[in-house]
Amino acid sequence: MIQLLVGLGNPGPEHALDRHNAGFWFIDQVATAVGVSLKPERGFFGDVARLRLHGHELWLLQPSTYMNRSGQSVGAFARFYKIAPENILVAHDELDLPPGQAKLKLGGGHAGHNGLRDLIAHLGTPNFWRLRLGIGHPGDRAAVVGFVLGKPPQSELKLIEQAMEQSQAVLPQLLKGEFEAAMMQLHRGNRAGGQAAKAGA
């Protein structure tokens, strides 16, 4: 079951609205929903909150390192609390999914995502859960850096927020270790959301 929920992003107000901070946005949404605040923990190089959700204990973590050093924070936290990689869910921005879609996945490569790359290096395995929050793709590989470090238009932000709400709705299953049920519910919600977006276009 999931014991640690990590959001990836870059610290500082200058990055708060970047697409690359979608993982941070998700953690903020969860924290707001349950009424907790994240507090800086120097030993873990990040901001941390502890809560009970649906009868289970869950930690929230936002690394305060920059994206490409996210593993320093997550690795330190996981080692201290003896949390296995397969009990960690990492929320991150995903170029290969459109805004409004979110998918769960266990393991895999980093696909060029520097936060995932560093996590794999520090945890010593790619076998942690990922919540892939779609932000879309600029269409040109050379434009990716500026795109992820840019602010999405309001229409896309609304879709990303809806996908995060759907993701938050499957947390009860994830906390119980019911991963197949969580994936089915989330991916079914993606299809419904995509159809609604097309109807409104």
Numbered residues of the known binding site: 15, 66, 68, 114
Cα-based distances in Å from 65 to 11, 59, 98: 7, 18, 27
Q: Is 17 helix (H, G, I), strand (E, B) or coil?
A: coil
- Host H or E run for residue 198: helix 179-200
**What is the CA 73 to chain-centroid distance, rounded?**
15
Amino acid at position 46, single letter = G
Catalytic residue status for 54: no
Q: What DSSP line would sit under 81-128, residue for residue?
A: HT--GGGEEEEEEETTS-TT-EEEEES---TT-HHHHHHHHHHT-S-S
Q: What do you get for the CA distance between the two ends of the chain, in Å?
A: 38
| From 20, 92, 113, 122, the catalytic residue | 20
- In 140-201, beta strands by DSSP E: none
Nearest to 20 by CA among 114, 153, 126, 125: 114
Q: Which residues are annotated binding-site positions for tRNA?
A: 15, 66, 68, 114
Task: Give the span between the Cα atoms of 99 and 105, in whole angstroms.
Answer: 17
- Which residues are identified as catalytic? 20
